[in-house]
A = this chain, B = another copy of it.
């Protein structure tokens, strides 16, 4: 099954009403998604850099979108494990781009990875691997 970017956008907006905090779906395809986060004051930590929780939330939503683009719009998948390495300071004043893709989608578990970078740079600011539990009854 494959889900269009527009269907996925509507679904994410409905299920994450505070979605602007988590970024906007830019592009997606079967098993991958790209989101962009325009950085606002609520995303910053002391010193003016994007906070770790902001990056974790963005990674989580981006890979969730990648998973849904493959298995369909199942609202009940939940994150079971998240591992993130923070690699570099994001560039000041630049949006954060998250590229997420699934590495494996099984019957009850989906695993993927996410690269986060500042717009205008290729160097990752963080890298995450995330697992989702998929409800058996889908």
Residue of B nearest to A58 (CB): B53
Is A74's beta carbon under 8 Å from chain B?
Answer: no
Q: Which residues of B contact A80 (CB under 8 A)?
A: 85-86, 109, 111, 131
Is A84's beta carbon under 8 Å from chain B?
Answer: yes
The CA-CA distance from A47 to B135 in the complex, in Å, is 15
Q: Which of A69-125 contact B (CB under 8 A)?
A: 75, 78-88, 103-104, 108-109, 111, 113, 123-124
Sample of 10 more A-B contacts, CB < 8 Å, known A52-B82, A56-B56, A83-B84: A52-B60, A53-B60, A56-B57, A80-B86, A81-B86, A85-B104, A87-B111, A88-B104, A108-B136, A111-B127
**A-B pairs with the 6 shortest C-beta distances?**
A53-B57, A87-B104, A83-B83, A15-B46, A108-B108, A52-B79
A-B CB contact pairs (8 Å), 25 listed? A15-B46, A46-B75, A47-B75, A52-B57, A52-B60, A52-B79, A52-B82, A53-B56, A53-B57, A53-B60, A56-B82, A79-B86, A80-B109, A81-B85, A81-B86, A82-B82, A85-B129, A85-B131, A87-B104, A108-B133, A108-B136, A109-B109, A113-B113, A113-B127, A136-B136
